[in-house]
Amino acid sequence: MNLFLSFKKRLLLFTLSISLIPIAAITTIYYFNARNTIRYQILEQLRAVAESKRLHIRSFMETKKVRTIDFSADGYIKDMLKKTLRGEARKQDAVMSLNEYLSKKKLSLDRQLIAIAIADKNGEVVASTNEKLIGKHISDQDVFVQGISKGSGDAYIKPRYFPYFDMTCILTSSSIISEQDARPLGVIINAYSLAFLNEITTDRVGMGESGEVYLVNRDKIMVTESRFIESASPRLKVDTKPVRASIDSDTEMVGVYPDYRGIPVVGASLNIPEYGWILLSEIDEEEALKPLKTLGIVALIFGIVGVVTVGSMGIVFATSTSKTIKNMTAAAERLAGGDLSYRVKITRKDEIGALMNSFNVMADKLSREITEHRRVEESLRKSTEQAQIILDNTTAVIYLKDTDGRYMLINHQYEELFHVTKEQVVGKTDYDVFPKEFAEAFRMNDRKVLETRTSLVIEELAPQDDGVHTYISLKFPMYDSVEGLYGVCGISTDITERKRTGKSK
């Protein structure tokens, strides 16, 4: 019984090993490949969002420049500016008219405009929608210096802190050119609120529950609104890895890093150097990589299903195989015990089924021969020639050895497979026929049968012309009425092709 339990366990272990190792490997490879693909797709999506927002911001800024250029070319503005440069009596009327014109006709054209100012060529503000600016000298401000230097059809634009408003805003300026002598009469300045940038960055469609896009300036200060911290702009400092990389080396990056809240995010950063901004597109790592958890669960489920399926098939296969061999062993024991009428029920059509059939054929013929020999009261040993004819008719390898391991007979299949004759083998041992390592294995198995006086079913290896073949062998002790136990009978069937086919599947 222990023999068959051991064989069953070994067969099951072998089946599970050759099946589960590929399943585990394939599942693992699939999971890591899918994880890398998902990470890449997320990073590319964030980069694409950032690219889209950067293009949008640049487009918006360009429209502000174009509007300023358009204002600078306004004929009415030019005429009123000229009048302010004439006599004092006319100047006051021109200023009032210009202020009214800027407020009613120009300021209303763009809801992001917070102020319009016109300065003469010396830098004095002569008209403005913001009365606080009128009369101020801004010749030391970049917005004036750069604006007066621009030619017709060009404009200066920059996000700057403007002390007269005590706030950071986007300032654009363009020179007002005289049509008579093409000399600058002065500068028109448009001041825009940074709030319009929020309309771009707070559009978070497709960014999930934690995604956000925001701008940071070169001082590491957040320029636009935060999704998580109220009134973060313009007071929150953002000292994160992508911001430092951009400021220190103008490097753009994508990856996983802690954001300004200290929470790990998957993000992408892009530079907008002409305005001194860094654009960041981020989403919490936990949310971004959530599909990986689902993927891991799916892979685990498939792995478990595969294990259960293969394990069940392995159990069925091992159980059916060991049961068949057990039945054959029981039949061999009954046959060896003298029950010549017992036969194995053939339930398979594979090599083991062929072995079972060979056993029955042998049992039938041996039974007839033994019956005949009993009638004539002759010993089974004296019927070697007749038994040889019977054994030669089976496709299995059949042999009989005495207790010392010397061959007493072999069948024709033995001669054909190992290229020997009966005369060369009978009276010799396995050491005279096979290489030492194979002979020792055969002798060890024979001794188990002789010592335990029970049958044995085992896999054995034997060399042939095309390599080492695997045989499943049934070995059982032989008795007679004269000497009692006198040897070991073996029946072996080649299962090499079946094992090879099983592995290839």
Secondary structure (H, E, C), 244-287:
HHHHHHCCCCEEEEECCCCCEEEEEEEEEHHHCEEEEEEEEHHH
What mean pLDDT value characterizes the chain? 83
pLDDT > 60? residue 383: no
d(CA 7, CA 2): 9
Predicted confidence at residue 72, as pLDDT, reads 93
pLDDT per residue over 144-153, tens digit each?
Answer: 999 999 888 8
Residue 1: which pLDDT band, with cuts at 50, 70 and 90?
very low
DSSP single-letter state for residue 344: P
Residue 435 falls in which region: left (phi positive, over 0), alpha (psi -120 to 50) or beta = beta
Percentage of residues in the chain with pLDDT exceeding 90?
48
Predicted confidence at residue 89, as pLDDT, reads 44
pLDDT per residue over 308-341, tens digit each?
Answer: 676 666 666 656 666 667 776 777 777 667 676 7
Residue 445 · residue 460 · CB < 8 Å: yes
Average pLDDT over residues 243-257: 94
CA distances from 221 to 123, 277, 399 (A): 31, 10, 93
Residues 6+ apart with CB under 8 A from 466: none
Cα torsion 311, 313, 319, 320 to 10°: value is: -170
Predicted confidence at residue 388, as pLDDT, reads 62
For the chain, give percent helix, strand, coil, nearest 5: 50, 25, 25
The residue type found at 405 is G
DSSP single-letter state for residue 159: E
What is the full DSSP assignment across 161-227? EETTTTEEEEEEEEEEE-TTT--EEEEEEEEE-THHHHHHHT--TTSTTT-EEEEEETTSBB-S--S
pLDDT per residue over 253-297, tens digit each?
Answer: 999 999 999 999 999 999 999 999 999 999 999 898 887 676 667
What are the beta bridge partners of residue 398?
491
pLDDT > 50? residue 421: yes
d(CA 124, CA 148): 12
Average pLDDT over residues 81-103: 77
Domain 337-504 in the same topology as domain 73-193:
yes
What is the full DSSP assignment across 295-310? HHHHHHHHHHHHHHHH
Output the CATH code of domain 337-504.
3.30.450.20
pLDDT > 60? residue 376: no
Residue 3: which pLDDT band, with cuts at 50, 70 and 90?
very low
Predicted confidence at residue 5, as pLDDT, reads 47
pLDDT per residue over 431-473, tens digit each?
Answer: 999 999 999 999 999 999 999 999 999 999 999 888 999 999 9
Predicted confidence at residue 447, as pLDDT, reads 94
Average pLDDT over residues 166-193: 90
Q: Choose the weakest-confidence range: 262-266, 384-388, 475-479.
A: 384-388
Residue 189 · residue 147 · CB < 8 Å: yes
Predicted confidence at residue 180, as pLDDT, reads 84
Q: At what angle are helices 384-392 and 351-375 packed, to 10 degrees?
A: 160
d(CA 364, CA 343): 8
Task: Say what the pTM is.
Answer: 0.55
Q: Which CATH class is domain 200-288?
A: alpha beta
pLDDT > 80? residue 163: yes
User: Is the bond preceding 234 in cis, omega lying within 30 degrees of 0?
Assistant: yes
Predicted confidence at residue 379, as pLDDT, reads 47
Domains of the chain, residue spans: 73-193, 200-288, 337-504
pLDDT per residue over 198-233, tens digit each?
Answer: 989 998 888 889 999 999 999 999 999 999 998 887
d(CA 388, CA 396): 13
Residue 407 · residue 428 · CB < 8 Å: yes
Instruction: Show the DSSP H helices in 343-425 as ranges.
Output: 351-375, 384-392, 412-418, 422-425
Handedness of CA 90, 96, 99, 105 (dihedral sign): negative
Average pLDDT over residues 183-190: 93
Q: What is the SS3 assignment for 76-111? A: HHHHHHHHHCCCHHHHHHHHHHHHHHHHHHHHHHCC
Predicted confidence at residue 40, as pLDDT, reads 84
Radius of gyration of the chain (CA): 49
pLDDT > 50? residue 344: yes
Predicted confidence at residue 403, as pLDDT, reads 92
Q: Which CATH class is domain 73-193?
A: alpha beta
Predicted confidence at residue 373, as pLDDT, reads 61
pLDDT per residue over 7-57, tens digit each?
Answer: 556 656 666 666 667 766 776 776 677 777 778 888 899 999 999 999 999
